[in-house]
Structures are given as structure tokens and as C-alpha cells.
Amino acid sequence: MQQTYSFLLSLCFLFFLGCSSSKNQFEKGNYEKAVELAIKKLRKNPASKKQLATLKAAYDYAVKVSEQKVIQYKTSQDRFKWDKVIAQYRRMQNLYLGLLKCPGCLTVVSPVDYQQPLNNALVQGATIYVQEGKKTLSAQTKVSGREAYRQFSKAKSYQENFNGIDRLLTEARIAGTEVIGVSTIPVRSKGLEISSAFFLQQLVQRLNELNYFFAEFRAMDNLMEQKLVPNHVVDLSFDDYFIGQTYVKETRETVVRDSVKVGKITDSLGTKLNVYGKVEADVQRFEKTIESGGLLNFAIVDTDTETILYQEKIPSTYQWVNDWATYQGDKRALTKDELRLAKEKELIPPPPQELFYAFTRPLFDQVAGRLQYRYRYLRK
């Protein structure tokens, strides 16, 4: 069984070795891949006649096929045909550079330097993308601005210093950026001073830290001061909320524990013995809970069309709990938990603002998560 397993492993190894050999790739018509594999082998064994023969034949074919492909691409009516031309020249130039680093390879082939035709193709490609970007940008929409930015970026990847490309990129980014205003949550509570400003500040900060390339989140108050109209408004308001509803639960119980050491006696022989008996205590337990919660109405409004793009009502609650206990009697009757509670005291409840923060914190995470998903298309 072991011999059969080893034999099968050997067959698999030889199969994969054959699939990755330069000769195998040559026979499949993958001439560029055959050249790459032959170069790798000849760097280790420059005198390999098989690899030298495969390299010579494969490189000759790779050059001929490459030239035919380039002619075909250039005669195409496709506006973006230079992408294919550039990709083809880059692959052939990589073969050229690889051959130069393989002294043994140079004994059978004379590698062709494609850098100049590649440079020319890069200029042509950049020119086309700049032309297309300008045409796209002229539509003067947010979507066209973002698409134009991508086209100008492609041009810059071909020609780093293409004339005016940085200015065009800036112009397209500004045109494609959506300004999203976030409203302050109106909070009205009888006799209580409560503010949602912290919630708003943290939300705007978190959203901007996500680095959406084509989005700018701003507080609505700030936009109104600058007399700027956002593209979208994130409208937040409470349909209903309550803060600081107090409930107190009190329980009384007599607890008894048996077999507790209650003293010692000395028997007739003078031996001291432990005395065990029952002990008891009256325990009074208190549980004070203060509940806060609300139903947040979360909507995204398009300011141009005044239509609601998204709307959801998100509930949240928070419960502050204070437990303590008192007792009368023998504390040895108490459990560990009852002893712990007996050391606790009635606490002063948190102020309303802190309770407000507590129940809005989960709302903050949910709103931020939904906005992050909703505006994912504004990433670069």
C-alpha cells in the first residue's frame, strides 16, 4: 500500500513538473511563458542544450506573435486599444530584461528592446484617457466627475508628468465629491438639560476618518453657517424616547445555615470539642434600575429632488443597575454573594446626559455602519 502511494505521488509530481516545463508550454503555444521558464532553468544550468533549444524557438515565436497582436490591436476601432498594446509591450520588455540577466541565454537569442515602442504607446494611451476624461467631466454630474477622475488616474499611471494631469485630477475629484450633511438630533426633555452635540461630533468624525475619497461629511449647522447646500442630508430624530425611568425592587428573606461552628466545649476527659448548630439572619435585598431608551428615525434625503433615499427606525435601550443589601442577625448565615451585596451601598444615579449617551451609543454604531455601507461607492 505504501509503495503504491509513493508511486502515485511520483506520478503527480512528474505530471505537474511536465505542465510547468518550458517545452510543455512551448508545445501549448504559450511562448512567453516558455521563455520565462527557460530563463529560470538556464540561470541554474547555462549549458542545458534542451533549454537553450526551447528558448531559441520559443522566443522567436513570442516575438512574431507579439508583433501580430500589436498590429491587430492598433487597427482596432476600440478607443482604449492602447491598454492592450501597452500590456503586450510590457510583457515583451520584461522578457528582454530577463534575458539580459541570463548570460547563457544570450548565446542563442538576440533580445529585442521594446522600451521605445512602449514609451510611445504610453503617450498614446495617456492622451486617449485625458481626452475621454475631459469629455466625461463635461457632463457636470457627480457620477461623471468620479468617472473622469478614474480616467485621469489611468492617464497618470501611463504618463506621470502628463501636461496638466494633476490639475485635471483635482478638478474631477471636486466635481465628483458629495457633501453629506448630518443633522443634530433634536432633544426635548421636560426640566432636563440634554444635548446630542457629542453624538453628532463623534459621528461626523468617525465617517470622515473612513477616508471616503469622494465624500465629505459635515454637520448641518456648519454648512448653514457657510451657506452651503449639501447633496444629501442624514436626518436624525427621535420618534420617542425616555430618560431615567426608575424602578426599585425589594425582597426580604430569612436565611438559615446548618452545621456552623458556634462554639467549643470541654468533655469529661478535658478534650476541647467544636460545637455546631444553626445560624440565621434576615436579609433585605434591593435592586434599583434606571432605564433609558428611544426610537431613532434615521433617513437620508436627496436635497436636489427632496426624495428620501433611505429610511429606518432603530430602537435602543440602556439599563443602569444598582444592587445592595442589608441584614440583621448572624452574618455567617449569608452566602458569598449576599456578603458582597451587604458591602455595597445605594449609589447616586448617573446624570441624564450620561444616561442619554449610554443608550445612544449603540445607535451611533448602527448609524455609522449603515452610512459606511450606503456610501461605499464613494471610495476611490
Q: Hey, where are the domains in the chain?
A: 13-113, 124-176, 181-378
The model's pLDDT over 47-99, given as tens digits with 9 standing for 90+, comes to: 899 999 999 999 999 999 999 999 999 999 999 999 999 999 999 999 999 99
Strand partners, 260: 277
- The residue with greater pLDDT, 378 or 269, is 378
Backbone angles phi, psi at 139, to 5 degrees: -70, -20
Separation between Cα atoms, residue 34 and residue 62, nearest integer Å: 9
Is a pLDDT exceeding 90 seen at residue 130?
yes
pTM of the full structure? 0.73
Long-range contacts (CB closer than 8 Å, 24 or more residues apart) made by 257-262: 257/332, 257/333, 260/332, 260/333
**CA torsion through residues 83, 85, 91, 94, sign:** negative
Q: Which of 30-39, 258-267, 371-380 has the lowest mean pLDDT?
A: 258-267
Looking at residues 250-270, what average pLDDT do you find? 79
What pLDDT, on a 0 to 100 scale, did the predictor assign at position 19?
A: 42
Above 50 in pLDDT, residue 17? no
The C-alpha cell that represents 338 in the structure block: 449576599
Q: What mean pLDDT value characterizes the chain?
A: 88
pLDDT above 80 (res 45): yes
- Is 20's pLDDT higher than 70? no
> Where do the DSSP E strands lie in 303-369?
307-329
Q: pLDDT tens digits, residue range 331-340? A: 888 889 999 9
Mean pLDDT in residue range 16-45:
85
Q: Which residue has the higher pLDDT, 111 or 255?
A: 111
Query: What is the total residue count of the chain?
Result: 380
Alpha helices in 220-298 (DSSP H): 220-225
271, 279 Cβ separation under 8 angstroms:
no
Residue 228: Cβ within 10 Å count: 12
Residue 192 has a pLDDT of 57
Amino acid at 292: S
Scanning the structure block, which residue is given the C-alpha cell 511563458? Answer: 33
